Amino acid sequence: MLTTKETERCKQELLAKMKIIAETYGWIRASRPCATALIQTLSSTPCDRQVKYKLENRASLGKRRRFDSYYREKSEFATGMIVERVKSALLINGLDAAIQTEERSDVGRHDIVIALGSPCKVYANGEARLRIEVKGSLGINLEQISRYLLDSSPLILVRVMTRHVTKIEPSALQPYLLFMLRELHEKCDRILSSKFYTIPGNACFACPDDRCPHNRYRDGRSEGLVTMANDDFGEDLVSFFRNLSYVSEKTASTVVEELRVFQGQREGHTNFPRDQLAGEF
Ligand code: SF4
């Protein structure tokens, strides 16, 4: 039976390897390795050659596609509404709550702190207890969800358009997490030793490595604004607002339910560890 301890050990080893990669390729910001960007890059494609190219050319990697800000707005607006509902539900249920932004100001002492960000984090008794990730559009990035599972607190995934609200327990996915971490270890080793694979496939259509003979990216083909057709816009907007109260209510009740369980296990300390706001992944 795999344990969270083994996964944590493997994660720490991966972070140590990431540090070497960050130092090798200059992926350092504010004296810290850009761990999130690195893991995103490593997981972005099965082609090791493309990963290596991206590591070596970070500064020149421009965005080739512009996405309609409507998609981002929907997620941000939905997150705000869900947090409003969560706050109301916490108060109604006698759970003292505060909102913590990334700003390191003194907010006093509260039993529960909601740290706005992506994902939104809920701290109780000074520990990260829950995270809430809101998807306002139909798209879902499984690489991101998979990466979020490397933190141990449960993740509530909300998909507004499909009315999905589901809680994922990383502790129940230890075999998968260990598998993912080991594969990332192997990939880091291949990149660092330059014994990497070149794997042509769909990734060749959006690959920045223009020296690769398999490259199939064509300038201009993907540079337009990515948005939805006019007929779909109204329908999408109506569905979004129609589903928002339902997913907000469901998320709030899941948060209250979880916190009640934690409340029963309370040990009495209430100091909020601000440095936990900066997650590794
Ligand atoms: S063009 Fe294709 S095979 Fe070549 S580096 Fe890019 S993804 Fe890999």
The pLDDT averaged over each successive group of 10 residues in the chain (281 residues) is: 78 92 92 88 92 89 69 91 93 87 54 85 88 91 90 93 95 94 93 91 91 83 66 90 97 94 66 41 47
Domain that holds residue 206: 4-277
pTM: 0.82
Distance from Cα 61 to the centre of ligand 1, integer Å: 15
**pLDDT in the model for residue 225:** 65
Alpha carbon distances (Å) from 128 to 153, 256, 273: 6, 15, 9
**How many structural domains does the chain have?**
1
Distance from Cα 189 to the centre of ligand 1, integer Å: 19
**pLDDT in the model for residue 157:** 95
Output the six-digit token pair for 37. Answer: 């960007």
In this structure, the residues whose C-beta lies within 6 A of any atom of ligand 1 are: 47, 49-50, 198-200, 203-204, 207, 209, 212, 214-215
Amino acid (one-letter) located at 66: R
Alpha carbon distances (Å) from 273 to 36, 126, 139: 21, 6, 33
Atom of ligand 1 nearest to the CA of 200: 3
Give the contacts of 99 (CB within 8 A, at least 6 positions apart): 83, 87, 113, 114, 116
Contact present, 190 and 48 (Cβ < 8 Å)? yes
Atom of ligand 1 nearest to the CA of 45: 7
DSSP string covering 175-221, please?
HHHHHHHHHHHHHHHHHHHT------SGGGGG-S-TTSTT----TTT
Map tokens 């979020």 to a residue. Answer: 148
**pLDDT in the model for residue 65:** 61
Stretch (H or E) spanning 154: none
Distance from Cα 148 to the centre of ligand 1, integer Å: 27
